[in-house]
A and B are shown apart, each in its own frame.
Chain A
Amino acid sequence: MSNTTLTEIVHSTDLIKNLTLRELRGKYRSSVLGWLWSLLNPLSTILTYWFVFGLILQLPATVGTETGLDNFPVYLMCGLFPWAFFSSCVNGSMGVIVGNAALIKKVYFPRAVLPLSYVLSILVNFCIEMTVLIVLLALFGVNALVVLPWLLILMIMLVIFTLGISMAVSVLNAYLRDLQHLIGSVLLQVMFYLNPIVYRITDVPQNVNLLGFSVPLRAIYLKNPMARFVMAFRRVLYDGAAPPLKDFAFLGAASVASIVLGWMLFSRLEWRMAEEL
């Protein structure tokens, strides 16, 4: 039969809403602190990184151009939260097809709603984190509301970019279960350090000498959409400034490419899904 079409997705808003609620409710059901965990989790991460990279290794933060901020934990949060959103989505999406095998084998519904609703459930957390960050910035005397439009545009682009990759890995993992380990335990860990999250992009040398070759490291860094996302979020929140237009163009193009490729891959592979599980 036909693959999932966009119209089907549009007609499935109630389903998407219900699946998202299932993720959210299911996650914290039966735990004492419940929803509080979605705040405690990032908080503990921030404290850990601040302790290791800020206090022990004494990595410096930049000074916010418009805001005058000079605060390592806040600097960290501005980059870490977008990364954590991306990373949780990709990591969790690999399980959504395999984890819903019973459902896929017994009921027809547009399969794409599975990674979509998962990403949305993480987005709820991301929004909470961003709200907390904006409140925190206010405590430091920074009114982040002036950059809110930029922030929202960035968030939308990040969601689209992440959704494309999440769709791709969710369906690929149904066919090749190694991905879960390769991406979950290896790639995402490595990528965390290959993004300028705990350090500044200016700490990355323009060129490094590797085995006698001169490698333009900084330029390579700037090709990575996630690095650019991290930098753009930081520019908006920490510096309080609008990102350059060409950054928006780059991120916009990356998001469109990601969602188109993810969608194509998903619809190519989804029809044999019920047999593969």
Chain B
Amino acid sequence: MSDDDIVIRVDNVSKRFRLYHELNRSLKATVFRQGRAKYEEFWALQNVSFEVPRGTTYGLIGQNGSGKSTLLKCIAKILRPDGGTITVDGKISALLELGAGFHPELSGRDNVFLNAAILGLSEKDVKKSFDNIVEFAGLEQFIDTPVKNYSSGMYVRLGFSVAINVDPDILLVDEVLAVGDETFQRKCSEKFAQFRAEGKTVVLVSHGMGSMRMLCTEVALLEHGRMLTKGEPDDVIQEYLGDVVEERDPDGEFGQRWGSGEATIESVEFFANGKPVGSHANCGDRLVARLHLRANERLNHPVVGVVVTTMEGVHVNGTNTRLGSVDLGIVEPGQFTIDWEVPRLDILRGVYLLSVAVTDETTLGHYDYRQRSFPFTVEIGDALFEEGVMTLRSSWSVIDV
């Protein structure tokens, strides 16, 4: 790839933070301690390198504290790296916080001009896109009201609208796409798609693995400030999810396996709406978990069961072939495959763990039990922003107002 096609080049970048033990920046502290307050050094980024080709969408994933937001701020020039260099070719707009710099006493109109100027837009350009900005935010009626009277939703909408209309070459996005109501969400997604279609470059930080998989052309995984891997979204996300399960399992409770060995659980494949999906599905999908099993000897009416739990250990559902009135009969030695089908996946977005067991007829003798061994993620799907573990497919109607 020629040099011209790289818009962001992050070369061996390190960033150190100082953690002060006490928030004491007074003169007294300076004089008495002969220098500034004591601090510990902490490397938020260590020797991170990657290149973002023009027109691609690049994802940064990693757990909280892995340094992905720090990296984004370094690219946005908000922080300066302590080592390495970052070269950026083009105008950047960073969606790190929406409406940063709004003045509460000023009207929406004044704040649009102010905010756009902060984001680097000339006054001429703001005037040109002013109507678009206001219309996109859906605030035509309120544009001359001081923003202190805005609801938080209106505030964020106006902030997003300004930021997205700055017309940057490179957009840095940190988890802000999930703002506003459904209509605004859709408008954002459309704008975002249009942006990508125009061949502009996006760097995205998110926890939503589904959207990352869908949007990104390349994904980099950060852990404790280091670049762990980068590459194809599917591979990197798979690795990340594996890590997440390990990380949250200090007692070794996840992924435990036991059993007498008459049968073994070899692997699990997931299908959503009939298509193989790695390990993610959307809420509302028809989900199939295909269990690849092996009988090591002749099995007499074995029972196959699954349990779904959340990462926090909440039991979502447990069932088995006997409860489903399926009798496997006599299973001869060799491989066999069972499908567990959920006609409509009504659990909400999150990471879930599937346990799989093969037992004898009584379900008390475990041939093979793989506890919480198969993580899968559920994305927002059609349930949007409901809270909790599952959607009740509820609806509202107004009887009398």
Binding site for B on A (CB under 8 A): 1, 14-15, 17-19, 21-22, 25-26, 29-30, 100, 102-109, 175-178, 182, 271-272, 274-275
Check if A176 sits within 8 Å of B25, measured CB to CB. yes
Q: Which residue of A1, A26, A176, A178 is within 8 Å of B106 (Cβ)?
A: A26
User: Are B103 and A105 in contact, CB atoms less than 8 angstroms apart?
Assistant: no
Q: Say yes or no: B73 contacts A109, CB within 8 Å.
A: no
Residues of B within 8 A of A (CB): 17-18, 25-28, 30, 73-74, 76-81, 86, 92, 94, 96-97, 100-101, 103, 105-106, 110, 113-114, 117-123, 146
B10 to chain A, nearest CB (A): 12
CB-contact partner of B97 in A17, A102, A175, A182, under 8 A: A102
Docked complex Cα distance between A16 and B96 (Å): 22
B105–A177 CB distance below 8 A: no
Nearest opposing residue in chain A for B122, CB measure: A14
Give every chain A residue within 8 A of B26 (Cβ-Cβ): 176-178
Docked complex Cα distance between A19 and B121 (Å)? 13
- A18, A105, A108, A177: which contacts B113 (Cβ < 8 A)? A18
CB distance A107 to B96 under 8 Å? yes
By beta carbon, the residue of chain B nearest A3 is B80
Least CB distance from B143 to A in Å reads: 16
Q: Are B25 and A106 in contact (CB under 8 A)?
A: no
**Inter-chain residue pair count (beta carbon < 8 A):** 90
Q: Tell me the complex Cα distance, A100–B103, Å.
A: 11
Contact of A108 among B27, B77, B97, B114 (CB under 8 A): B77
Residues from chain A with Cβ under 8 Å of B119 in the complex: 107, 109
CB distance from A117 to the nearest CB of B (A): 10
Contact at B80–A107, with CB atoms within 8 Å?
Answer: no
B44 nearest CB neighbor, chain A only: A275
Of the residues A15, A18, A26, A176, contact of B105 by C-beta under 8 Å: A26
Taking a contact as CB atoms under 8 Å apart, the answer to whether B100 and A106 are in contact is yes
Chain A residues contacting B101 (CB-CB under 8 Å) are 100, 102-103, 106-107
CA distance in complex: A97, B74 (Å)? 19
A272 and B106 contacting across the interface, CB-CB below 8 Å: no
The 9 closest A-B pairs by CB, nearest first: A178-B27, A108-B77, A106-B100, A18-B117, A29-B105, A106-B97, A15-B117, A271-B80, A103-B101
Give 17 A-B contacts (CB < 8 Å), ordered by A residue.
A1-B80, A1-B86, A14-B121, A14-B123, A15-B118, A18-B118, A19-B117, A21-B110, A22-B114, A26-B105, A29-B106, A103-B118, A107-B119, A108-B94, A109-B120, A178-B28, A182-B27
Chain B residues with CB under 8 Å of A271's CB are 80
Q: Which residues of A contact B73 (CB under 8 A)?
A: 274
CB <8 Å contact, B117 and A107: no
User: What residues of chain B lie closer than 8 Å to A102, measured between beta carbons?
Assistant: 97, 100-101
Instruction: Decide: A274 near B117, CB < 8 A? Known: A14-B123, A26-B105, A107-B94.
Output: no
Taking CB as reference atom, which chain A residue is nearest B74? A1
B81 — which chain A residues lie within 8 A by C-beta? 1
**What is the chain A residue whose CB lies nearest that of B77?**
A108
Residue among B28, B30, B74, B101 with the highest chain A CB neighbour number at 10 A: B101
Which of B76, B80, B92, B120 is close to A272, meaning CB atoms less than 8 Å apart? B80
CB A193 to nearest CB in B, in angstroms, measures 23
Question: Using Cβ atoms and an 8 Å threshold, which residues of chain A touch B122?
Answer: 14
Residue pair B100, A22 in contact (C-beta under 8 Å): no
Given contacts A18-B117, A22-B114, A275-B18, 13 further A-B contacts (CB under 8 A): A1-B80, A14-B117, A22-B110, A29-B105, A100-B101, A106-B97, A107-B78, A109-B118, A176-B25, A176-B26, A177-B26, A178-B25, A272-B80
Among A17, A18, A178, A274, which residue has its beta carbon within 8 angstroms of that of B79? A274
**Chain A, Cβ-Cβ closest to B81:** A1
Given known contacts A107-B100, A107-B118, A178-B27, is B105 in contact with A25 (CB within 8 Å)?
yes
The answer to whether A177 and B80 have CB atoms under 8 Å apart is no
With both beta carbons as reference points, the residue of chain A lying nearest to B25 in the complex is identified as: A177
Question: Complex formed: what's the CA distance from A31 to B110 in Å?
Answer: 18
Q: Which residues of A contact B120 (CB under 8 A)?
A: 15, 109
| Residue of B with least CB distance to A8 | B120
Contact across chains for B17 and A275 when beta carbons are under 8 A apart? yes
